[in-house]
Chain A
Amino acid sequence: MTEQSPKIELTKKDRLNVMWRSTFLQGSWNYERMQNGGWVYTLIPALKKLYTDEEDRKLALKRHLEFFNTHPYVAAPIVGVTLALEEERANGAPVDDVAIQGVKVGMMGPLAGVGDPVFWFTLRPMLGALGASLALSGNIVGPILFFVLWNAIRIAFLWYTQELGYRAGGEITEDLSGGLLQDITKGASILGMFVLAGLVQRWVNINFAPVISEVQLQPGAFIEWDKLAQGAKGIQEALLQYDAGLSLTSTNVTTLQQNLDSLIPGLAGLLLTFLCMWLLDRDVSPIVIIIGLFVVGVAGHAVGIF
């Protein structure tokens, strides 16, 4: 640490390089120190620039190979803060290993708690359902929309929060422990629960086939197909009668499904979702439930329930 040396600064290009590398944060995810390899890989362009002395470089690499694990996107603000601290240290400020390690550990826990509900439980189900609902009819816009929107939001988030962390430096840790994080988490939970309920209503498909009642209709309440005129005239008559509210068949069939739907459409799917939640709560593996449901589907169809 020479007194007179010019201040070493990380340029925007350096910071962009670091952001790009943070894409690979989980690349060497391991059971021992989790994201540590990806973390040091992310910081290497900065460390290279900040430290020219062989010994300083060794220490920097070792310092950043410690345990690290958080949500891969909210690691960005932590990267930003770490860049600021390392920059100060390289320029001679008394920032020791404990301070840097403290910031990393102090931020990774609370931030992971925000990243999971926001990205995995709210944003991805929403964008995924949006894309999938278009894709179900073979529309290429579905996958493209999902891919473009997700990555635009992701890259914007990575860059802006990394810059935020870099500018705020160590001070950000105090801001984050305040109400902001709680608000974001709660807001995501509200939005997530609301949208998930909508997805359950629309996309969990159960169709109960059993017939509850079959009522013979009075003459005049249904279209008597054999009494219609021939050709186009007959079709016109039939359409007019149908428009007037006549039934297409001589019996009125009510299935179990129609009864359930008259309470509220999607009730059966809702009950199935609650059943799954209950099973998961009792530590039944999701895999067992998934395979079980396929079996139930085939067996139920065979005996005529579905």
Chain B
Amino acid sequence: MNMIQVILVVIVAFFAGMEGILDQFQFHQPLVACTLIGLVTGNLEAGIILGGSLQMIALGWANIGAAVAPDVALASVASSIILVLGGQGKEGVSTAIAIAVPLAVAGLFLTMVVRTLAVPVIHMMDKAADEGNFRKVELLQIAALVMQGLRIAIPALLLLFISPEIVRGLLESMPQWVADGMAIGGGMVVAVGYAMVINMMASREVWPFFALGFVVAAISDLTLMGLGAIGVSLAVIYLNLSKMGGSNGGNQVGDPLDDILNDY
């Protein structure tokens, strides 16, 4: 990797770090971060495939209550750098993910550090407010955001300093069955993210829709768009029907079905 590429990767990592907290443009999501790192290092196709694979795993990662998921920004950036240094192209995707996930867990510690460091920053904002100093409040906000960017950019730079030969040697010394097993593990890890989200939304009322979705998805001709369209329709129908039931429940004569039938 030449100097320009190193700088570009660090810039992408910086954006991923800022977005890891802002959560607006989604630069920290694997689909975007891995693709960009693949692009600037000349591994576009492998980067996109890595992004897709890691995105599937990270779909449900969100920090909800006590359940803390690995840091998705660091997972995206670290796995991309390992993939590029390893030089195996798309063959290296599953091992890159398996190595990056423990690193992403370590990233949670950095998140906590930065969020704690932000406390003195807002105390300085309080002081700036006492002076009525708008400019200073703005600069402090930007400073806090820069810390978030560095949270990913610095680890990325450290990873980039590891010689590619070492990473390559490490990956090549790995027996085939370990690499295959990691790919199999990657296929199963996807379930964790889904389980987190389902746990958040599940209720007695919406479980039947889960059953429907599962059975309908087995029809392999149906695209994701198609599934989405059926899902939206079901939600709208359900909401409308439950309202009809509510308004006609107690005080009205007859039921809605009767009214509809009488119209014919």
Chain A positions within 8 Å of B, measured between CB atoms, are 23-33, 36-38, 40-41, 44, 47-48, 54-55, 57-58, 61-62, 65, 72, 116-117, 120-121, 124-126, 128-140, 142-143, 146-147, 150-151, 154, 183, 186-207, 264-266, 269-270, 272-277, 279-281, 283, 285-287, 289-291, 293-302, 306
Could you tell me which residues of chain B, from 200 to 241, have a CB within 8 Å of some CB in chain A? Answer: 200-203, 205-207, 209-218, 224-225, 227-228, 230-232, 234-236, 238-239
Are B188 and A296 within 8 A (Cβ)? yes
Q: Which of B41-49, B80-88, B152-160, B256-264 contacts A (4 or more CB under 8 A)?
A: B41-49
**Shortest distance from the beta carbon of A236 to any chain B beta carbon, whole Å:** 30
Are B51 and A293 within 8 A (Cβ)? no
**B residues contacting the other copy or chain, number (CB 8 A):** 109
- Indicate whether A32 sits within 8 Å of B134 (C-beta atoms), given known contacts A197-B212, A265-B218, A301-B180: no
Are A117 and B200 within 8 A (Cβ)? yes
Asked if B148 is an interface residue, CB under 8 A from chain A, the answer is yes
Are B138 and A44 within 8 A (Cβ)? yes
Are B35 and A143 within 8 A (Cβ)? yes
Are A286 and B55 within 8 A (Cβ)? no
Are A294 and B199 within 8 A (Cβ)? no
Question: Which residue from chain A places its CB closest to the CB of B18 in the assembled complex?
Answer: A27
Are A287 and B105 within 8 A (Cβ)? yes
Could you tell me which residues of chain B, from 130 to 151, have a CB within 8 Å of some CB in chain A? Answer: 130-132, 134, 137-138, 140-142, 144-145, 148
Could you tell me which residues of chain B, from 1 to 54, have a CB within 8 Å of some CB in chain A? Answer: 18, 21-26, 29, 31-32, 35, 44-46, 48-49, 51-53
Contacts of A54 in B (CB 8 A): 132
27 A-B pairs within 8 Å (CB atoms) are namely A28-B144, A31-B118, A31-B119, A117-B200, A128-B58, A129-B59, A134-B52, A140-B48, A146-B55, A151-B25, A151-B26, A194-B210, A194-B230, A194-B235, A195-B228, A197-B213, A203-B190, A207-B187, A277-B199, A281-B199, A285-B67, A287-B105, A290-B101, A294-B101, A294-B189, A298-B185, A302-B177
Which of B44, B105, B209 makes the CB contact (< 8 A) with A193?
B209
Chain B positions within 8 Å of A, measured between CB atoms, are 18, 21-26, 29, 31-32, 35, 44-46, 48-49, 51-53, 55-56, 58-62, 64, 66-70, 90, 98, 101-102, 105, 115-116, 118-119, 121-122, 125-126, 128-132, 134, 137-138, 140-142, 144-145, 148, 177-178, 180-192, 194-203, 205-207, 209-218, 224-225, 227-228, 230-232, 234-236, 238-239
Are A29 and B102 within 8 A (Cβ)? no
Contacts of A197 in B (CB 8 A): 209-214, 217
Q: Is the interface of A mostly helix, strand, loop or mixed?
A: helix
**Whole-angstrom CA separation of A202 from B191 in the bound complex:** 11
- Known pairs A37-B118, A290-B189, A291-B102; list 14 more (Cβ under 8 Å): A28-B118, A48-B134, A57-B132, A143-B51, A188-B235, A190-B238, A197-B212, A199-B59, A201-B217, A204-B194, A264-B214, A286-B68, A296-B185, A297-B188
Are B53 and A136 within 8 A (Cβ)? yes
Contacts of A58 in B (CB 8 A): 129-132
Are A190 and B209 within 8 A (Cβ)? yes
Contacts of A36 in B (CB 8 A): 122
Are A293 and B188 within 8 A (Cβ)? yes
- Indicate whether A62 sits within 8 Å of B137 (C-beta atoms), given known contacts A30-B122, A72-B24: no
**Shortest distance from the beta carbon of B244 to any chain A beta carbon, whole Å:** 14
Question: Which residue from chain A places its CB closest to the CB of B246 in the assembled complex?
Answer: A179
Are B201 and A117 within 8 A (Cβ)? yes
